[in-house]
Amino acid sequence: MAPGAVLVPAAEVGARLAGLQTTLADRGLDAAILVQNADLYYYSGTVQRSYLYVPAAGEATLFVRKLVERARRESPLAAPLGTVVELASPRDLPRLVAERYGAPPRRAGLELDVLPVNDFRRLEKLFPETAFEDVGRDIVRQRAVKSPWEVERIRAAAAVTLGVCELVPGILREGLTEAEFAGRVEAEARRLGHEGYIRMRAFNQEMFYGQVLTGASGWASSYLDTPLAGTGLSASIAQGASFKPIRRGEQVVFDFVTTSQGYIADFTRIFVVGELPNELRRAYDAAVRIEAAVVAAARPGVTCRALYETALAAAEAEGLGEYFMGHGEGRVRFVGHGVGLELDELPVLTASDLELAKGMVFALEPKFVLPGLGAIGIEDTWLVTGAGLELLTPAPNHVREVA
């Protein structure tokens, strides 16, 4: 194992498997077969290439194609939770399942929200008598509520973010290109423990460390489901930092995502070389007030819809509703999103009747994209507690000016 690596405790995996098994039993499913990396890690503690077979009752089995010995070192699966078994070929899976569980499942759940079609068809051929149903949405709902152990992992990711944020004034210089600045920031993030990979569940949604954009670059929207994107270095990526030089008086949007031990924190602060123009400062102050209004209204039992409408009303009251959370066809219809093992988890603060629950963690990101000026705003990661919200990214929320 890598120095400092933290393994998922057996108690965590046991509670997660028990939660999934309750869902399977409630739905009348005999088992679930899981293969997606974030879900494998959540339920088994490893991402080695595997099929995780979770029966509605009894021990789970991790059938590992590559690498079985590493999977055994990383995974806490052992009796009575489950076991780790080598799988020489997927063709052996039906026989091994029948040997361990008496028969193939009649009804089984798959992650049909993310499973590639060819992999689905392979499982259909391997288990011709099994009726498959989606359990991906059930898994996403279960993962929305974090355990105290998971919250500590998110705190560790937030600590990396805050450490990098404090180094930005010493890195930021007029004349650096966005790409040069981003590269120096990213190097510090790696030094502080950023794992360098950000998982997203939605198909074709990709991100590298977040967005570091300056001035009018923040006006460029793209396919990414986010209020700001940037042009990037080519149409093949179409987001992120460009070769545009950083100029005095332009806002530097430090929209940064960090991962630690698999878990994510999301965060945005504004820097500027010199002074920020009044119009941008007014919009930034409005974003801070919108964040405060949503935080004041948030507590267990409040719907995502209510919080989203609070944010929209506050943006309108500031006279900036037209530019809230993007512009034109690049505008997004949310003001916050869950974070955990993936960047796009529940809850999503949008027109949804999902209620906040204690243990949920989300990034709240009120932002504006202004014509000719670019993007500006704030973002923090918050934990839902029994009484309201706890800030997990406690950095000063004022604009940081660099001489």
- For position 252, which CATH number holds? 3.90.230.10
Tokens of 300: 């267990």
Consecutive H or E run containing 152: helix 148-171
Q: Among the residues of 221-277, which ranges form H helices?
A: none
Domain closes at, from 91, 116, 143: 143
Evaluate whether residue 70 is within a structural domain.
yes
DSSP string covering 51-66: EEEEESSS-EEEEEEE
In a domain, residue 63? The reply is yes
Are both 109 and 157 inside the same structural domain? no
Residue 371 lies in a domain: yes
Residue type, 118: N
Same domain for 297 and 364, yes or no, is yes
In a domain, 54, yes or no: yes
pLDDT for position 81: 86
pLDDT at 4: 62
What is the total count of domains within the chain?
2
Q: What is the dihedral of CA 153, 155, 158, 159, to 10 degrees?
A: -100
Same domain, 114 and 171: no
Tens-digit pLDDT profile for residues 273-312: 999 999 999 999 999 999 999 999 999 999 999 999 999 9
Q: In whole angstroms, what is the distance from residue 349 CA to residue 290 CA? A: 13
Residue 2, in any domain of the structure: no
Distance set, CA 397 to CA 48, 162, 284 (Å)? 40, 12, 10
Cα–Cα distance, 2 to 5 (Å, whole number): 5
Cα 264 to Cα 163: distance, rounded to the nearest angstrom: 15
**Cα angle 213-245-257, degrees, rounded to a multiple of 5:** 25
Within this chain, do residues 241 and 368 fall inside the same structural domain, yes or no? yes
- pLDDT (0 to 100) of residue 256: 96
The reply to whether 207 and 118 lie within a common domain is no
Same domain, 115 and 183: no
Token pair, residue 150, equals 């998971």
One domain, residues 156 and 87: no
Contact 345, 338 (CB under 8 A): yes
Cβ atoms of 376 and 251 within 8 Å: the answer is yes
What was the pLDDT predicted at 3? 57
Which residues in the chain come in under a pLDDT of 50?
none
- Whether residues 239 and 366 share a domain: the answer is yes
Instruction: Give a yes or no: residue 117 inside a domain.
Output: yes
Distance CA 102, CA 87 (A): 18
Residue 107 resides in a domain: yes
- 4 in a structural domain: no
Q: Could you tell me the two tokens for 149?
A: 């152990």
Q: Which of 144, 154, 169 is nearest to 391 (CA)?
A: 154
Beta carbons within 8 Å of 23's beta carbon, 6+ residues apart: 135, 138, 142
pLDDT given for residue 352 in this prediction: 98
Tell me the residue range of the domain where 81 lies. Answer: 10-143
Query: Are residues 176 and 56 both part of a single domain?
Result: no
Of 118, 143, 168, which residue is a domain's last? 143
- Measured torsion, CA atoms of residues 235, 240, 246, 249, in degrees rounded to the nearest 10: 120
Q: Is 198 helix (H, G, I), strand (E, B) or coil?
A: coil
* Separation of CA 306 from chain center: 22
Bridge partners, residue 375, by sequence:
369
- The answer to whether residues 286 and 381 belong to one domain is yes
Q: Which residues pair with 360 in a beta bridge?
A: 145
CA 305/CA 326 separation, integer angstroms: 19
Q: What is the pLDDT of residue 1?
A: 57
Q: What is the token pair recorded at 310?
A: 């609070």
Strands 374-377 and 367-370: antiparallel
Check which CATH number belongs to the domain holding 137 and give it.
Answer: 3.40.350.10
| 14, 322, 365 from 332: Cα distances, Å | 37, 12, 11
- The verdict on 342 and 229 lying in the same domain is yes
pTM check: above 0.95:
yes
Boundary of a domain, candidates 107, 122, 143: 143
Cα–Cα nearest to 195, from 212, 208, 181: 208
- Residues 121 and 154 both lie in one domain: no
